[in-house]
Each structure stands twice: as structure tokens, then as C-alpha cells.
Amino acid sequence: MSTVLSASPPLRIGPIALDTPVVLAPMAGITNTAFRRLCREYGAGLYVSEMITTRALVERNATTMRLITHHESEKPRSIQLYGVDPATTEAAVRLLVEEDRADHIDLNFGCPVPKVTRKGGGAALPWKLDLFRDIVTRAARAAGDVPLTVKMRKGIDSDHLTYLDAGRIAEDAGVSAVALHARTAAEFYSGHADWSAIAALKEAVTSVPVLGNGDIWSADDAVRMMAETGCDGVVVGRGCLGRPWLFGDLARALGEPGSAGPEVDATLGFVAQAFRRHAELLVEFFEDEGRGCRDIRKHVAWYFKGYPVGGDTRARLATASSLAEIDEIFATLDMSAPYPGAAAEGQRGRAGTPKRPALPDRWLESRDVDAAESSAIAAAEIENSGG
């Protein structure tokens, strides 16, 4: 349990006091209740849902209603919304609050996916200052006592930065924290996050916490980001793929004394056990063993990065359709194989190359939304994406 109410916790997001200033980054297709529960078993902090589209929520789409459901062990319950329309976003926030379905709501303004930015959504949206202000103001008002935060990128590209304006607008609108993935949409996931932008945002936004995000692969990176930027907490995404115990390392490095368990010895046996637990939680989440075992496949390469697990075994794990089959495969491995060091560390997950962002025609010419743009944006709702 990561929340405590102490006199001066390391991070306070509205009424939520976290004894470790660490947030699991929302990741579509990854941070479902199964993965969040697993991460929480190792560490402390705030664990955000994958992105939920506001229109689907307002329409009570069955899959969406399932995605916003938390396990009873998940406290505080945190949900990220993606919206492009002020009224729909407000209605989605109201639904969560009135039905007591969340203790924290985050708004996603960081999605760089072309099909989203092409319509003015995601990371393209904060360029339109009034629209951004309208969405955040109405959402924050509808949230009432439930803290609302925004997560954004630096901007569209290096010539069209939005994060300082957006941070100040969000602060004025009454958000409880702002988080910055320190890349532009054009950078996608390439190169290195520009942590100096997090420091600049921390100077611009002074009344609520500023959370830094981008390229934290280890607890040392998190300590360094906080020291170099002065940010109030860190948001960790790809670094925990295949290593949910990173949240234990982060709690030991950044949390209050006693808030973390002992250091882990990441032998192959330890990693296999975490993988097995993840698969089991996915089976529980989907209420379908085959589906859970299919979903764990995308995690195989991340868990076993650097470990002596051959291509054949990886391929078998990536086609296993039952927990018993996973157990049979594991029985063939030498579980005493030690932690391989550097080979298991570093970058994982999305990378990619810079791309010129797709935008609506003449989007950059003005920071106001005209009528044509307004209807284009209305079509920018999506099924799922990323940030």
C-alpha cells in the first residue's frame, strides 16, 4: 500500500499523498489492472490506467467499462482519459466522479500517433490554446475533489513548442499536477528525452507538482532526473516493461524509509516467477486463460532480455496457450541462472525515428480553432493509441 497521510510526503497530488514520488506511465495495451497490480506488489506510487477514450466511456462501451475497473487492492484508483471535445471530456469526468470510479484522473495530451495528430488530437491539441484551456477547465471543474492532472509532450516539433503555455494554462485551470514527456511529437520515441525542458516547466509552473517523464531505465536515472530538473516526481513507462520490480528499486531510492521491500536478486527463476504471476493476473483480468496467455506474449522479449533463454524457448513462450504450458516450458530452464547485468538493462519498448507530424491543413497558422478545424477535431477520437 503506497499511500500514507504524513505531514510532508514526498509527493502530494491534490488530496493523494504518495510516500514514493513515482507514477507508472499510462501505456495502452500494457497498464491494465493485471500489470498495475503486479507493479504495485513490488513497489509504491501511483499506477495509471491505460488511456480511455472519453467518447467510448460516455457511451459506456463494454470494453471500456471493463478497462476502467480496478481490483479492490488498487488504491488510489487512477484513470487516464483521452478527449478532444470539451463537453465529452467533461461528461466522462463527471461519470467517473459521480459513480465513484476513480480517485485520480489524468488527461492525455501527448499522443504522437499520426492518425490522431492529423485530426488535431493528442500532442497537436495544446497548440490551440483556447481549446486546450476549455477542455482542462471543464474537466477540472467536473472533477471536483478528485485530483485531475495533465500529461503532455514538449510540443509538436522544436519550432512549435507548447508545454510552457499548456503548463501555465493547466495550472490556472485548477489541475493538481502536470507531467511532461520531454520529447516533441515529431521525435516520437527517438533520441533522448530533453530533461532540461522538465526543469524549464518546473520554473514556469510553481503552485502544483511537476512530474518528469522520459528515459528512466533505472532507479539511478530517476534520482538523476529529480536532481537535475528539480521535478517533484517521476513517471516511468518503458523502463518497467518486463521488470515490474523496478518499482521496488524506485521506492528504495526515492521513497520514505521503510516504504520498500528488500532488494531483489533477479535470477532467471525470479524473472520467470514474475512473468508467471503477470500471466496469471492477465488470465484473471480477461477471465479467459487463452486470452491472458496470448496477451503475455508481447512481454516475453522484455522479461527475458539478456537471460540465457534460447530462441526456441522464447518462441514456445510466445505461442503458449495455457498457464500449464508456460510451467512446462519453464521446467526446461536452469532457473538458477544469475542476473546477467548490463545485458538485461537499458532501452526496451518503442523507439523509432523522428517523423514530421501529420497535422490538419494550416493547423500551425493560428493558435485559435476555426470552424473547419473544430469538426475535424471532433473526429479525432480514437480506439487506443499512445503518448
Ligand X SMILES: Cc1cc2nc3c(=O)[nH]c(=O)nc-3n(C[C@H](O)[C@H](O)[C@H](O)COP(=O)(O)O)c2cc1C
Q: Are 350 and 190 in contact (CB under 8 A)?
A: no
Q: Which is nearer to ligand X, 81 or 266 (CB)?
A: 81
Q: Which is nearer to ligand X, 14 or 110 (CB)?
A: 110
111 is catalytic: yes
**Of 356, 371, 354, nearest in space to 128 by CA:** 371
Which is it for the CA torsion 116, 118, 120, 124, positive or negative?
Answer: positive
In the complex, least distance from residue 267 CB atom to ligand X, rounded to whole angstroms = 25
In the complex, least distance from residue 105 CB atom to ligand X, rounded to whole angstroms = 13
In the complex, least distance from residue 149 CB atom to ligand X, rounded to whole angstroms = 11
Q: Which is nearer to ligand X, 50 or 134 (CB)?
A: 50
Closest residue to ligand X: CB criterion: 387
In the complex, least distance from residue 186 CB atom to ligand X, rounded to whole angstroms = 15
Radius of gyration over alpha carbons of the chain, in Å? 20
Please identify which of the residues 111, 231, 240, 293 carries the catalytic annotation.
111
In the complex, least distance from residue 258 CB atom to ligand X, rounded to whole angstroms = 26
* Three-state secondary structure call for residue 177: strand
Here the cell at position 50 is 491505460
Binding site for ligand X (CB under 6 A): 25-28, 30, 50-51, 80, 108, 110, 151, 181, 213-216, 236-239, 349-350, 386-387
Q: Which is nearer to ligand X, 90 or 215 (CB)?
A: 215
Q: Which is nearer to ligand X, 116 or 329 (CB)?
A: 116
Specify the pairing of strand 210-213 against strand 177-184. parallel
Maximal C-alpha separation, the chain: 64
Integer Cα distance of 381 and 121 in angstroms = 8
List alpha helices for the chain, DSSP H: 33-42, 54-58, 62-67, 86-98, 114-117, 129-143, 163-173, 195-204, 219-229, 246-254, 268-286, 289-295, 300-303, 311-317, 323-330, 371-378
In the complex, least distance from residue 368 CB atom to ligand X, rounded to whole angstroms = 25
Q: Which is nearer to ligand X, 218 or 321 (CB)?
A: 218
Q: Are 248 and 42 in contact (CB under 8 A)?
A: yes
Phi and psi, residue 89, nearest 5°: -65, -45
**Residues with catalytic annotation?**
111
